[in-house]
Amino acid sequence: MRICICLSRWVASFAERIAMRGPAPAMAVFFVFILFFGNLALEAGERQILIKVAQYPNAIEFNCPNGAAWELGGRKKWIKPSDKCKIEGTIVASALKRFHVIVADIPFRDAPKTDESVSAWKAAGWPVHTIVLGREFSGPGGRSFAADGRRTFVGVGIFGDFASAGELVASLSESGGSPFVHEEVVNLSQGRVTLKINGEVQAVGQELALEPTQLIHLYKVEFAAGYPWHGFEDRDYRGRLLVRWGAHDALDCVLQSDLDSVLAGIVPSEISAKADVGALQAQAVAARGEIMSSIGVNHAGEGFDTCSEQHCQVYGGETPYVASIALKIAPTRGMVLAHQSGSILDAVYASNCGGHGEANHLVWTTEPDPVLIGIWDTAAPLPLDLSEEEQAGRFIRNLAADCFCNDPSVEGGDKFRWNKTISAPDWKTVESKLGIGRIKRVTDLARGFSGRIYQMSFIGDQETKTVKKELTIRQLLGSLRSSCFIAAWKLDSAGYIVGADLSGAGFGHGVGMCQTGAQALAKRGWTFDRILAHYYPGSLLKKWY
Ligand SMILES: [Zn+2]
Ligand SMILES: [Zn+2]
């Protein structure tokens, strides 16, 4: 880790000197550098993972119901079950970050594609750089397991602040691309942590390690920040817990635990604990693959592999479900999905596809992946082209469509079709977000394979604005369940839009496994491997450990 941080700091200072001159096309500055990120916890054969489970501004209260050992600042001692414990933090230096404008995200093994992208941007005069993120996994005991989670990001600018990178992203978006900002953590914040037991200072140091006999009980863990269900609750964790200053100038709580124990907690957070065993097992394999493919990508340089929030996968620690789920998913231990090429599949999933899955590259800035192209969630394909407006409308209005996820008896089945009204005040909010005056017309809808809209233009009385990406569209129009909808726009006497009635299909981005469909299929007796083969066509099921 230390080596990675030092290397990235050196490279970033080099990169900054070049990037600060600005990404003007005429400069034609070309350089390539490669950074290898990834934590050392997931070595061959090991099944340990580092997951950030909580973040606190500067103080943490906890107890250990069966006792725990602690280590801080060279001191080691014991916490008794009755002890009331507190950690107080003092920050000394803020985290240092760099912001990369990324224009392509390509599997590491697809070197020709990377060369093609680099050459095209270089020819257009951009200062191109590449970053390799992610991990390569090999099997235990010399067994070959060539799963490769590495990805190459092609970048065209590095900035010291998010706003400048965001401005370049906005201007590149207008000319048709789908760039995004990648935040590179150069240095974590630094500071002290003080452990107090029953009000008395025990030790001061940089990182506190807790080894509980059974559980650590953290008070007021913040979850789902930025989501409508945001809140705080007490949570229990099993495993070694590290507390230190992190990438957000706050105290990070990082749990080191067995990957499959963590999965037993993730599975019931992501899919109903009551689902039939085939769906729980399919979810476990998909989640394991998603974790492995995101190691060293989502939190590069932050000192842990994955987080417990929506950003990675939701993990609420020990819950009453964990023990029974662990038993049910045990037969899938070590299994992940891979591409034919051997690269590990980022086995994404969403709540309800609405009848047809969406293609990954229409949702994110990733290369088209034949495994994630989107399939009919039906016994046989329907003769419809959902990217075509009239046919999409016909399908979305069809409440009785014979799709696997049209099953109200399983969780998520009620999201197969939905209606939503955008009221006059809600529409005012949309207009103010767009900032192009009053809106007369919505036009130029582009729909993906599932019927999800990934681009639409709003004609205002000041200017026209094109909005891209299904998530941006959903957020703009008021937290829609999906961007697979048809709208009946309401006009006032002057011809301006004042609201709309939306009819929609599905819940979520729709890429990869449809969790509602998976539950319905498991109920029909499908096994997890058959479910996975349906949702990830052409993928290989491999056993990593
Ligand atoms: Zn995360
Ligand atoms: Zn579905």
Are 87 and 160 members of one domain? Answer: no
Give backbone dihedrals phi and psi of 422, rounded to 5 degrees, phi first: -95, 110
| Rg of the chain on CA atoms, in Å | 24
Are 112 and 226 members of one domain? Answer: no
Which of 187, 210, 231 lies at the terminal end of a domain, its last residue?
A: 187
Are 66 and 182 members of one domain? Answer: no
Predicted pLDDT at 367: 82
Ligand 1 center–CA 252 separation, angstroms: 13
Predicted pLDDT at 545: 78
Ligand 2 center–CA 105 separation, angstroms: 27
Q: Considering every ligand atom, which ligand is closest to the CA of 405? A: 2
Predicted pLDDT at 319: 87
The tens digit of pLDDT for each residue in 378-427 reads 999 999 999 999 999 999 999 989 999 999 999 999 999 999 999 999 99
Ligand 2 center–CA 410 separation, angstroms: 12
Residue 260 lies in a domain: no
Predicted pLDDT at 31: 35
SS3 category, 42: coil
SS3 category, 3: helix
Ligand 2 center–CA 124 separation, angstroms: 41
Ligand 2 center–CA 171 separation, angstroms: 36
Tally of domains within the chain: 3
Residue 277 lies in a domain: no
Ligand 1 center–CA 297 separation, angstroms: 9
Are 209 and 137 members of one domain? Answer: no
Q: Considering every ligand atom, which ligand is closest to the CA of 307? A: 1
Are 25 and 84 members of one domain? Answer: no
Are 228 and 371 members of one domain? Answer: no
| Residues in the chain with pLDDT values less than 50 | 1-45, 142, 144
DSSP 496-545: -EEEEEEEEE-BS---SEEHHHHHHHHHTT--HHHHHHHHSTT-EEEE--
Predicted pLDDT at 141: 54
Ligand 1 center–CA 290 separation, angstroms: 11
Ligand 1 center–CA 181 separation, angstroms: 15
pTM of the model: 0.82
Ligand 1 center–CA 404 separation, angstroms: 30
Contact by Cβ (8 Å): 221, 55:
no
Ligand 2 center–CA 512 separation, angstroms: 10
Which of 206, 234, 249 lies at the terminal end of a domain, its last residue?
A: 249
Residue 496 lies in a domain: yes
Ligand 1 center–CA 305 separation, angstroms: 8
Ligand 1 center–CA 67 separation, angstroms: 30
Domain that holds residue 193: 58-94+188-249
d(CA 238, CA 504): 41
Predicted pLDDT at 118: 97
Predicted pLDDT at 423: 97
Which of 226, 249, 272 lies at the terminal end of a domain, its last residue?
A: 249
By residue count, the chain amounts to: 545
Residue 351 lies in a domain: no
Are 7 and 116 members of one domain? Answer: yes
Neighbour count for residue 541 (Cβ, 10 Å): 16
Residue 420 has which token pair?
């939503």
Contact by Cβ (8 Å): 105, 113:
no
Are 128 and 84 members of one domain? Answer: no
Q: Considering every ligand atom, which ligand is closest to the CA of 535? A: 2
Residue 51 lies in a domain: no
Ligand 1 center–CA 313 separation, angstroms: 7
Are 113 and 245 members of one domain? Answer: no
The tens digit of pLDDT for each residue in 33-42 reads 333 333 434 4
Predicted pLDDT at 40: 37
d(CA 274, CA 150): 35
Query: Which residue intervals of 236-363 are DSSP H helices?
Result: 259-270, 277-294, 322-329, 360-363
DSSP 8-state symbol, 343: B
d(CA 491, CA 111): 52
Ligand 2 center–CA 516 separation, angstroms: 6
Predicted pLDDT at 32: 36
Are 112 and 138 members of one domain? Answer: yes
Ligand 2 center–CA 481 separation, angstroms: 14
Residue 469 lies in a domain: yes
Residue 402 has which token pair?
């014979």
Are 103 and 244 members of one domain? Answer: no
Query: Which residue intervals of 147-276 are DSSP H helices?
Result: 162-174, 259-270
Are 35 and 133 members of one domain? Answer: yes
Ligand 1 center–CA 306 separation, angstroms: 5
Q: Considering every ligand atom, which ligand is closest to the CA of 291? A: 1
Ligand 1 center–CA 446 separation, angstroms: 30
Contact by Cβ (8 Å): 151, 159:
no
How far does the chain reach from its first CA to its final CA, in angstroms? 24
Predicted pLDDT at 227: 84
Q: Considering every ligand atom, which ligand is closest to the CA of 248? A: 1
Predicted pLDDT at 138: 64
